[in-house]
Amino acid sequence: MISTLVEEERSRFRSESKIADTATVFFLAPGNTEAEVKWSLSILNKGIEKFFQRDEIKNLDKQNFVAVVSIPEHGATTNAIESLINQTKFGCRVVTVKTDNDKWSAMAGSDIGLAVNGEIVSECAAAQLPTVVLDNTPFLQAYFTQLYNSFNVDINIAINGEAYQELLNGANNPTKISEELYTHFADP
C-alpha cells in the first residue's frame, strides 16, 4: 500500500515541479541549523561536483539531474539557510521545498537522499527513499563508533544493522558522496 502511495506522490511531485520521469533526483536534507547547513552544503556540493566529473557521468546531460533541497519551514535560521542554498551551485537544476507536505512529496519524487542525521532519516524511511546519512560527529566518537561496529542512526541502532549507509566524521567527504551517488545511479 505504501509503495502505491509513494508512486502516486512521486508522479504528482515530478509533474508539478516539471521534472521528467527519466531524471535522476537527489533529495538533500542539509540540516536544521545554520552550522549544520554550512558544514553539509559544502560537502554535498563538492560531492555532487565529483559525481558529475566521473567518466561514466560527464558526458550525460546535466538537465537530467535535479537536486531537491529541503529547507526548514520555521525558525530563526530559515532565511540564512535559504541564502546559503542560493549561493551553492550544484551543477544541476535545484528545487527547494519548505513545508512538511512539500518535503514528503519531494522524498517520494526523489531517487536517492543525502541527509544530515536526525528525524529526517525516519521520514526518508517512511517514504521508502534510499538515503545516505551524514553525521558530523567529533573525531573520537566517530572512531569508537567504527571501532565497535556500532551505529549513530536511530533505525540502524534499532535493527542492530546498517539499513542506511552512515558517513561519520572522516567518511563524510565529497569523494565518498560521489561514490554513493554513482553506486545508486548505476544500480538503483
78 pLDDT above the threshold of 90: no
Alpha-carbon span 53 to 43, nearest angstrom: 15
Average pLDDT, the chain: 86
Q: Which superfamily, per CATH, for 2-186?
A: Glycogen Phosphorylase B; (3.40.50.2000)
- In whole angstroms, what separates CA 148 from the centre of its chain? 26
C-alpha distances out from residue 8 to 60, 71, 106, 109, 176, Å: 28, 23, 12, 9, 32
The structural domains of the chain, with segments of one domain joined by +, span: 2-186
Predicted pLDDT at 168: 66
Predicted pLDDT at 150: 75
Rounded to the nearest 10 degrees, what angle do helices 78-87 and 34-53 cross at?
20
Which one, of 37, 91, 42, lies nearest residue 67 by Cα? 91
Q: How confident is the model over 93-112, as a mean pLDDT?
A: 94
Predicted pLDDT at 165: 74
Percent of the chain whose predicted confidence (pLDDT) is above 90: 45
pLDDT tens digits, 113-154: 999 888 888 898 889 999 998 888 767 766 776 666 677 777
pLDDT tens digits, 35-66: 888 889 889 999 999 999 999 998 898 889 99
Predicted pLDDT at 75: 66
Q: Which amino acid is residue 23, in one-letter code? A: A
HSE toward the beta carbon, residue 164, CA cutoff 13 A: 33
156 pLDDT above the threshold of 90: no
Percent of the chain whose predicted confidence (pLDDT) is above 70: 91
Between 82 and 8, residue with greater pLDDT: 8
Indicate the pairing of strand 112-116 with strand 24-29: parallel
Q: Name the least confident of 29-43, 91-105, 153-167.
A: 153-167
